[in-house]
Amino acid sequence: MIKKGDCLIPSYPMLIALLLFMASCAPVISKQVRDQVRPDTTFMAVLNDPERYQGQMIVLSGVIIDAKNTKEGTLLQVLQRPASFRGQPKAVDKTEGRFLSLDSRYLDVYVYATGREVTVAGEVLGKRTLPLDTTEYTYPLIRVKELYLWPVIEKNYYDPFPYYYYNNYWWWQTNLLFIKHHRPRK
C-alpha cells in the first residue's frame, strides 16, 4: 500500500536498463543520413537503372561476397537481403541481386570477409560491369557514406538432455580426472 508522500520512482539500475533497451532498438545508420534517403527508391529500381538514381542516397543491407582493396578504396561485393527495422539483413533466402559498395577508407579484408553481414548507406554512383563466373554482371555502385559491420553472434545449440543426465559415468570420469591431475605430489 502506498502512503501519502510516497512516489513511484524507478531505481537507477532499472532506469539504466530501460535506456539501454531503448538504445538497442535504434537503427544503425544515423538519422541525418536516413533523412536524405527517398522512401520510394528501392533496390530493384536502382538495380534496373542505376544512372537514373545517380547522386541519390540509399540504404542497403546484405552479406559480403567478396572484398578487395583497390586504388579507389575498399570495394565490397554484397548480396542484397531484405533489412529488419534496425537495418540488419534478415536470415532469408530472398535477394534481389548484388551491388558494389566503394569505401574510400582502407578496410581490412580479413575483417570484412565473405559471409559477414553489412548495412551500407551511400550515394549511387552509377553502374560497373564485372565478370561473374562465365558471364558479365552489371552492379549498382554505391559510394559509402556510412557502413555498419554486424557482429558475429555464435549460436550454440545444446542438447536439452545431455549424456550425463542419463548416465553418471560421465560425471565420475570427469571427477576422477580432476582428482588425478590436481592431487598434490609427494
Write out the three cell numbers for 177: 580426472
For residue 1, being part of any structural domain is answered with: no
Residues of the domain holding 75? 27-149
Residue 65 resides in a domain: yes
Cα torsion 111, 115, 118, 123 to 10°: value is 100
Distance between CA atoms of residues 100 and 94, nearest Å: 18
For residue 127, being part of any structural domain is answered with yes
Number of domains in the chain: 1
Cβ contact 141:50 at 8 Å: yes
Asked whether residue 3 is assigned to any structural domain, the reply reads no
Task: Report the CATH number that the domain containing residue 31 is assigned in CATH.
Answer: 2.40.50.140
Q: Residue 136: count other Cβ atoms within 10 Å of its Cβ.
A: 9
Nearest to 28 by CA among 151, 111, 177, 153: 151
Tens-binned pLDDT, residue by residue, of the chain (186 aa)? 555 555 555 566 665 655 555 555 678 999 999 999 998 899 999 999 999 999 999 999 999 999 999 999 999 999 999 999 889 999 999 999 999 999 999 999 999 999 999 999 999 999 999 999 899 999 999 999 999 999 998 766 665 555 544 455 555 555 555 555 555 555
Give the C-alpha separation, 92 to 18, whole Å.
Answer: 30
CB-based contacts of 76, cutoff 8 Å, min separation 6: 64, 66, 67, 100, 101, 102, 103, 107, 112, 118, 120
Residue 180 located in a structural domain? no
Cβ atoms of 122 and 101 closer than 8 Å: yes
Instruction: Answer whether residue 19 is part of any domain.
Output: no
Q: Is 7 domain-assigned?
A: no
pLDDT at 11: 64
- Asked if residue 138 belongs to a domain, the reply is yes
pTM exceeding 0.95: no
